[in-house]
A and B are shown apart, each in its own frame.
Chain A
Amino acid sequence: DIQMTQSPSSLSASVGDRVTITCRASQVLTNYLAWYQQQPGKVPKLLIYAGSTLQSGVPSRFSGSGSGTVFTLTISSLQPEDVATYYCQGYYSAPFTFGPGTKVDI
C-alpha cells in the first residue's frame, strides 16, 4: 500500500505570506494526487486534483505542483480564512490513503 507523508506537520505564518506544504508518496502516483482543506469544525473540501488542477470555485491563490512521488501545495498569499488543516491523498487505486495533515495557523 502507498504511504503518504506531509511536511511540515504544522506552521504559523502571517497574512500575505507565501506558504508551501510538501507531500511525499512511498510509490509513484503519476499525477493522481489531491489536496483537501478542512477548516476547524467543517467538512473537508477538495482544493486540487490531478496534482495541479484547481477545483471549481477554489481561489486562485491556491496552486499545486509535482509529479511522481513529491507534490506541493502553495498558498501564494495567506488569508485569515485559510486557517485549516490540509491533507494530501493519492487516489489512483485503493487504498486511497490520506496524508497525516498540515495544520496552518496565523
Chain B
Amino acid sequence: QVQLVESGGGVVQPGRSLRLSCAASGFPFSTYAMNWVRQAPGRGLEWVAVISYDGKNKYYADSVKGRFTISKDNSASMLYLQMNSLRGEDTALYYCARGDYYNGRGSYELHGFDMWGQGTTVTVSS
C-alpha cells in the first residue's frame, strides 16, 4: 500500500523540542526527495523543509531555519523533522509530502508534491 504516515505530534511548551516521524511504504523511498509542509489552524499551506533523495541536500523556510532539522533514513523508509526552540507560531498540522523523483541516471522528475500523509498536530502552548 502506497502511503505516508506521520506521527510524533503533541502538546509542547514554548522553547521545548519535538521530533516528528513519517513512515513511507509502497514506493522506492530512497529515490524521492521528501518535504514537510504545515498548516496552522484556519490558515493556508506553508512549506517547511525539503531533503534530497540521498539526504545530502536540505533546505528550510526562513521561519524555521536554525531551529528545525530534516533527516531521512532510506534503509528504514523514514523521514524525520527535529523541531527545537518551539514557538507558538509553530502550532500547526504537519504533513510529510513526496517530492522530486531521482531516476538514478543523473536526472530528476519534477512533478510537485504528489503524495501526502494525513498529518500530525503540533500544539505549542504553556
Residues of A within 8 A of B (CB): 1, 32, 34, 36, 38, 43-46, 49-50, 53, 55, 85, 87, 89, 91-92, 94-101
When the two chains form their complex, are residues B35 and A96 in contact, meaning their CB atoms are under 8 A apart? Answer: yes
Please tell me the size bucket of the interface on B: 20 to 34
B110 contact set on A, CB distance < 8 A: 32, 49-50, 91-92
Further 4 A-B residue pairs, CB within 8 A, beyond A44-B95, A49-B112: A34-B111, A44-B45, A95-B59, A100-B44
Question: Taking A95-B59, A96-B35 as contacts, is the C-beta distance between A34 and B44 under 8 angstroms?
Answer: no
A49 contact set on B, CB distance < 8 A: 110-112, 114
- How close is A34's CB to chain B, nearest CB, in angstroms? 3
Query: Quick check: is B73 within 8 A (CB to CB) of the other chain?
Result: no
Query: Quick check: is B50 within 8 A (CB to CB) of the other chain?
Result: yes
- How close is B66's CB to chain A, nearest CB, in angstroms? 15
- Selected interface stretch from B12-20, B23-31, B74-82, B115-123: B115-123
When the two chains form their complex, are residues A46 and B112 in contact, meaning their CB atoms are under 8 A apart? Answer: yes
When the two chains form their complex, are residues B114 and A55 in contact, meaning their CB atoms are under 8 A apart? Answer: yes
A85 contact set on B, CB distance < 8 A: 44
When the two chains form their complex, are residues B119 and A43 in contact, meaning their CB atoms are under 8 A apart? Answer: yes
Contact of A96 among B50, B62, B95 (CB under 8 A): B50
A98 contact set on B, CB distance < 8 A: 37, 44-47
Contact of A87 among B45, B97, B118, B119 (CB under 8 A): B45
